[in-house]
């Protein structure tokens, strides 16, 4: 069973990856005019990082489907916290 501290750790890792992907996308975008070699490859990396951001955010806000084990998501953490009478 996934505990709250473990879920928070997984959620933090997912959010860190999303932030790193956003940073990479922004770094390439801000320096695109100064790059003379490999623009096509860096454009491809920029597009991949943007897709990674979208997939990462989809994982973070994933709604649990019935019958599947709980995922580390914002909705799961909120539901789990409200269900525990601490």
E strand residue ranges, 1-86: none
Q: Measured between alpha carbons, how far is 29 from 77 in angstroms, rounded to an integer?
A: 34
Q: What is the dihedral of CA 58, 79, 68, 57, to 10 degrees?
A: 10
Kindly report the pTM of this predicted structure. 0.69
Q: What share of the chain is helix, strand, coil (3-state, %, to 5)?
A: 70, 0, 30
Per-residue pLDDT tens for 27-86?
Answer: 999 998 898 888 899 999 999 999 999 988 887 776 554 444 555 566 666 666 666 665
For residue 14, what pLDDT is reported?
Answer: 84
Domain count, the chain: 1
């Amino acid at each position: 069973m996934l505990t709250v501290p473990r879920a928070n750790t997984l959620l933090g890792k997912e959010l860190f990856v999303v932030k790193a992907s956003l940073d990479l996308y922004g770094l390439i975008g801000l320096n695109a005019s100064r790059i003379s070699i490999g623009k096509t490859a860096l454009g491809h990396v920029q597009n991949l990082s943007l897709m990674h951001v979208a997939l990462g955010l989809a994982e973070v806000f994933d709604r649990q489907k019935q019958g599947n084990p709980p995922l580390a998501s914002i909705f799961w953490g909120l539901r789990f916290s409200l269900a525990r009478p601490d």
